[in-house]
Structures are given as C-alpha cells and as structure tokens.
Amino acid sequence: MAIKYGRPIELREVARGTGATVPHALDLTVRPRRNRKAEWARRMVRENVLTTDDLIWPLFLIDGNNKREAIASMPGVDRLSVDQAVREAERAMKLTIPCIALFPYTDPSLRDEQGSEATNPNNLVCQAVRAIKKEFPEIGILCDVALDPFTSHGHDGLISDGKILNDETVAVLVRQALVQAEAGCDIIAPSDMMDGRVAAIREALDHTGLLDVQIMAYAAKYASAFYGPFRDAIGSAKTLTGDKRTYQMDSANTDEALREVDLDIAEGADMVMVKPGMPYLDVVRRVKDTFAMPTFAYQVSGEYAMIAAAANNGWLDGDRAMMESLLAFKRAGADGVLSYFAPKAAEKLRAHA
C-alpha cells in the first residue's frame, strides 16, 4: 500500500486491453483531464469558491462635499468625501459585501508629530462611520488603528531620537480605537505592529462597555514595497522619512509570523490578518493551519496597481486576473480578503450567480 497526501491508496492493477482502438493512443488508466472536460464537470470537482461574503472593501476618505478625487497610482480608486462614502456603502450593501474599511486622507494642516488628529472624535473617519451607520446600520465597518495617516512624518507611531516608541504609541492607539468604536465602528483593526496593542485596546474597549466591538489584528504585517500606492492615497508617500522595518516584519520570516499571530490571539484578537497578500500566501496557509482562526489577507495597493496597470496596458485580461488573484486567497486558507477590487469582483460574482 502506498501513502500519498496523508491517505492510503491501493495502486490500481487494471488489465489493459491490447491494441488501442485509437491510433497512437497512450495506454493510460488515469486521465486527470476527464474531470476538466466541460464546465459542468469542472464545477462538480471545484475545491474552492469565492463569494461576495469573502470581500472587505477598503475606501479612502477626503474632506469636502460631493467630492471624488482620482488616485493616480490606483486606477479606478477614488478618495471620497463622506457623502460619497455613504453612497459607496450603499453600493456595498446592494452587492452583499459584508464589510467596508475606512482610510482617511488627512489634510496636511491637521498632521503633526504626534498624530493628534487620530484621537479627535470628530475626525474624518469618525464622521464617516457615523454617517454610514446612520443610513446603513446593517453594513460592517472596519477602522484601521495606526498613526500614519495623521503624522507629519508618516510613521505609524510616535518618534523620539529617530526611534519609534512602542509603549507611548500604544497609549495613543488605545485612544484612537476608542473614538472610532464610540463613533460606531464594528471592527477595530490595529495595523501599527506595536507590541502589546491588542491587549491594551481590548482592555480599554471592555472597560468602556464596548464588549461587542471586534478586533481584527494586522498580526503579520510585513515591511513591504507593495504599500507604495496606499501611501499616495493617504498622502504619506512624500513625507515618510526612513522605513518601517523596526516595527513591520522582515519579509524573510514565517516562523515569526506564527509567533506574532499567537500573541495577538492570546491578547484577545477575534480575527487575524496577513499583509500583503499574494506574495505571502504561504504565511496565510501556515497561520490558518496552525491556529484555525478566522484568517484574513490584505491584497494591498501595490498588488491592485500591478493588475490594474497591466490590464490598462492590454497586457493582462484584467477581470480574469482579478478573480484568479482573489480565489488564490481562498485556496491558501483565507476566510476573506481586503481588496480594492471588492466592488468589481462582487459585480462579477453576482452577474454569474
């Protein structure tokens, strides 16, 4: 008996007829292509499916009214004033996308060394959460917790003598999470990669009676070149000094990702995330297999931009590449994907439903 893929298999001893009826036919018992011979047959044996329930749609916010501003490095993605974000939330509802994520472009005049605007209960994100929840209480809203959209230096934390301060930053992140949760945010998603922030945020939420607010931890977030267009979108690309390698993970590591995820679960994370997505599918798979937690991946701005740019040049079939890239996350074990393609993919999925 042979063992393959963890299962015992008996080798088949099939008596083959002599003299094939088709000239040049190979004497093959097993022909895997039979299961691919038609679309109905492929559907029968398909192992993974993508549905609209798998999508989280990140939106960019900007101050103003009735405003949509194109982001050059993310063709097809706009910065939206709050009223327009409410319209997109409605679109998400109609497309049965369960959750949207909000990211602000903070006016440069409001950015400072401490990222003070992050804890303003009336900042752009909080305004948008209130406006969306008022009209569409049924849609999930995820808010990112990190200081980079609010700091003049573009880092996710406070800096002193060129160093990112961990514990002092966590204290600010706790206040940021609280103003978002009090505005009505459903899922707090710390993306800062400071140590101990999940425990501190969980404790503060519970202490305030916000027991039902979930935490999706950006548990394994790598220092990546694929965030470039996002930094254009939130306006931190030009101001960012240095890099984020003292807090975001080294792209060479996967054991370390498991330790980070383990810690965030112990600290109270309800869901965990790996970011970026496609270049880190091995990490998604290891995390899912090791912890069996709701596991998400972020198909980041650079991944979006690569596919969108190639498609706009006619080098790729954009729609097919989009769907294939999203399905890859399901195959790797992800329960869902944050993707700028979410509305387009949902439209396609519903057209074929």
Q: Where on the chain is the footprint of ligand FVT (CB under 6 A)?
A: 144, 146, 191, 227, 230, 300-302
The DSSP letter of residue 246 is: T
Residue 325 binds: one of ligand FVT, Mg ion, none (C-beta under 5 to 8 A by kind): none
**In the chain, which ranges are E strands?**
2-4, 7-9, 55-61, 68-70, 78-80, 99-104, 140-145, 158-160, 163-165, 187-190, 214-221, 271-275, 295-299, 336-339
Smallest gap from Cβ 59 to ligand FVT, in A, equals 12
Instruction: Return the number of the residue (41 or 70) whose C-beta is nearest ligand FVT.
Output: 70
260 binds, among ligand FVT, Mg ion, none (CB under 5 to 8 A by kind): Mg ion
The answer to whether 221 is a known catalytic residue is yes
* Tokens read off for 335: 């329960």
Specify the residue, 90 or 309, whose C-beta has the smaller distance to ligand FVT. 309
CA-nearest of 160, 178, 181 to 169 is 160
**Least distance to ligand FVT from the beta carbon of 144, Å?**
5
- Centre a 10 Å sphere on the Cβ of residue 184 and count the other Cβ atoms it contains: 17
Binding segment for Mg ion (CB under 5 A), chosen from 74-82, 138-146, 178-186, 258-266, is: 258-266
Confirm whether residue 260 is marked as ligand binding.
Answer: yes
Q: What is the distance of C-alpha 264 from the center of its chain? A: 17
Residue 301 interacting entry, from ligand FVT, Mg ion, none, C-beta within 5 to 8 Å by type:
ligand FVT
Tell me the one-letter amino acid at 227: Y
* Burial per residue of 53-90, b for 16 or more beta-carbon CB atoms within 10 angstroms, e otherwise: ebbbbbbbbbbbeeeeeebebbeebbbbbbebbbebbe
Q: Which CB sits closer to ligand FVT, 230 or 296?
A: 230
Identify whether the C-beta of residue 217 lies closer than 8 Å to the C-beta of residue 269. yes
In the complex, which residue's CB is closest to Mg ion? 260
Binding-site partner at residue 227 among ligand FVT, Mg ion, none, CB < 5 to 8 Å by type = ligand FVT
267 binds Mg ion (CB under 5 A): no
Q: Which stretch binds Mg ion (CB under 5 A): 14-22, 48-56, 113-121, 255-263?
A: 255-263
Give yes or no for residue 260 binding Mg ion (CB under 5 A).
yes
Residue in 133, 244, 275, 288 annotated catalytic: 275
Comparing CB distances to Mg ion, the nearer of 186 and 260 is: 260
Minimum distance of ligand FVT from residue 65's CB (angstroms):
26
What are the φ and ψ backbone dihedral angles of 122, each rounded to 5 degrees? -115, 25
| Residue 339 DSSP symbol | E
Report in angstroms how near the CB of residue 284 gets to ligand FVT at its nearest. Answer: 16
Task: Report in angstroms the alpha-carbon separations of 275 from 32, 172, 176, 217, 257.
Answer: 35, 23, 21, 11, 11
Of 90 and 237, the one with the shorter C-beta distance to ligand FVT is 237
The neighbour count for residue 349, using CB atoms within 10 Å, is 21
Binding-site partner at residue 144 among Mg ion, ligand FVT, none, CB < 5 to 8 Å by type: ligand FVT
Which CB atom, from 117 or from 144, has the smaller least distance to ligand FVT? 144
Euclidean distance between the first and the last CA atom of the chain, given in angstroms as a whole number: 43
To Mg ion, the closest distance from the beta carbon of 132 in angstroms equals: 29
Task: Compute the least distance from the CB of residue 276 to ligand FVT, in Å.
Answer: 7
Per the CB < 8 A criterion, the answer to whether 332 and 297 are in contact is yes
Residue 178 structure tokens: 């609280």
Candidate list 221, 244, 288, 348, residue with the active-site label: 221
Give me the active site residues, please: 221, 275
Can you give the binding site for Mg ion, defined by CB under 5 A? 260
Which residues are annotated as part of the binding site for Mg(2+)?
260
